[in-house]
Amino acid sequence: MSPAPAPSRPRCPRCERPLSACVCHWTRPTDNQVLVLILQHPQERHHAKNSAGLLALSLARCRREVGEVFDPVQLSEWIGPLRSAALLYPRTGLGPETDARPPQIRKLVIIDATWRKSLRMLAGNPLLQSLPRLALQDTPAPRYRIRRARQPHQLSTLEACCQALGELEDRPAHYEALLAAFDGFVAEQARWMAGLPPPQPSVS
């Protein structure tokens, strides 16, 4: 007789993480004017160090869809009018790669994946290649010290989105509270990785 499968750990219904690793206390309700569509690789969905989940739970106008190759009709519906959408992604040689015009951008499309997997998603979804590209300039030092980046200046999905939204909406300070909460999330994950318990909340 085969042994019974180990019971799965209870998960938070909001952030979908195990209750012991729930990140809901790091969410910060943030009213974004430019809409955000996150296309998340399946392997990132339950990754403990993934920042897109925290971002999606915090932004008021954000849609997150999980997959690698999406139905073109469905993807077109999620993106909406192509003339007012932009893909937050550097130049790669795939597609026409026209530069986005910030005043016209009403929706920001973000691929949440490792660099190699994001390239596969871009190649596998031609509609994404047709979008104007928005590439970040003068990026600050990354706060995301718990995951290795391909380049030293590369930012996490949350950091890149906050910088892009701040620039597009001309109000970078509006996203500082979410970035500060992200610092706490990163510090907490670093403690978990080091085998240390999370800090106890202070009692006033």
Check pLDDT > 80 for residue 145.
Answer: no
Average pLDDT, the chain: 86
pLDDT per residue over 120-139, tens digit each? 999 999 999 999 999 888 87
pTM (two decimals): 0.86
* Mean pLDDT in residue range 16-35: 92
> CB count, 10 Å around CB of 198?
12
- Is residue 108 within 8 Å of residue 56, measured between CB atoms? no
Residue 203 is predicted with a pLDDT of 43
Residue 198 is predicted with a pLDDT of 60
Burial 106-145 (b: 16+ CB within 10 A, else e): ebbbbbbbbeebbeebbeebebbbebbbbebeeeeebbbe
Residue 144 is predicted with a pLDDT of 63
pLDDT per residue over 152-200, tens digit each? 557 999 999 999 999 999 999 999 999 999 999 998 888 776 777 665 5
Residue 202 is predicted with a pLDDT of 45
